Amino acid sequence: MEKRLSGKVRRALRGRYYDIPPRAWIGRRGLDEGVIAEINTQLEKDGVLKVEIRKGALISTGLDRRSIAEKVAGATDSELIDVRGKRFILFRPREGWEKYLRKLQRKELSMEKREEKPVKKVRLDIVQFRRKFKKGRD
């Protein structure tokens, strides 16, 4: 599975969506079509989803938590953001991967172009300054 998001974006998403409640569960039936369809529906609706793996899924599939999460991410064309304990976070942009990745690239390019320029020091002549503003007051 290829990673489409950079570590910086991944960290931002993980921090933003860490405390959302899980809205999908993988039970003893494992990774059947109904579970994958429900996860797809939730991802289309919100773009981010937290999934919980029940104990029965680990027993029935014989896989560990990380590999179950990677299989779900591959089946739903989403990005696996984080796996912690029995829960994992999936992300799929609602506008589609191509448009989302182009938007991220444009944002990075604009950040590079906006480099800070040093402030130009100006020597201030107090006498000229007072003359200039005294003219306006007379």
Distance CA 83, CA 63 (A): 14
Torsion of CA 25, 19, 49, 4, to 10 degrees: -130
Number of domains the chain is built from = 1
CATH number of 42's domain:
3.30.110.60
Q: What pLDDT score does 12 carry?
A: 92
Series of mean pLDDT values for 10-residue runs along the chain (138 residues)? 81 92 94 94 94 94 94 94 95 88 85 72 76 65
Distance CA 93, CA 84 (A): 22
Claim: this prediction has a pTM higher than 0.85: no
Q: What pLDDT score does 86 carry?
A: 95
Q: What pLDDT score does 98 carry?
A: 87
Half-sphere exposure of 20 (CA within 13 A, CB side): 20
Torsion sign, CA atoms 58, 67, 23, 29: negative
Q: What pLDDT score does 16 carry?
A: 93
Pair of tokens at residue 60:
């029935």
Look up the domain containing 101 and give its range: 1-138
Question: In the beta sheet, which residues pair with residue 90?
Answer: 49, 80
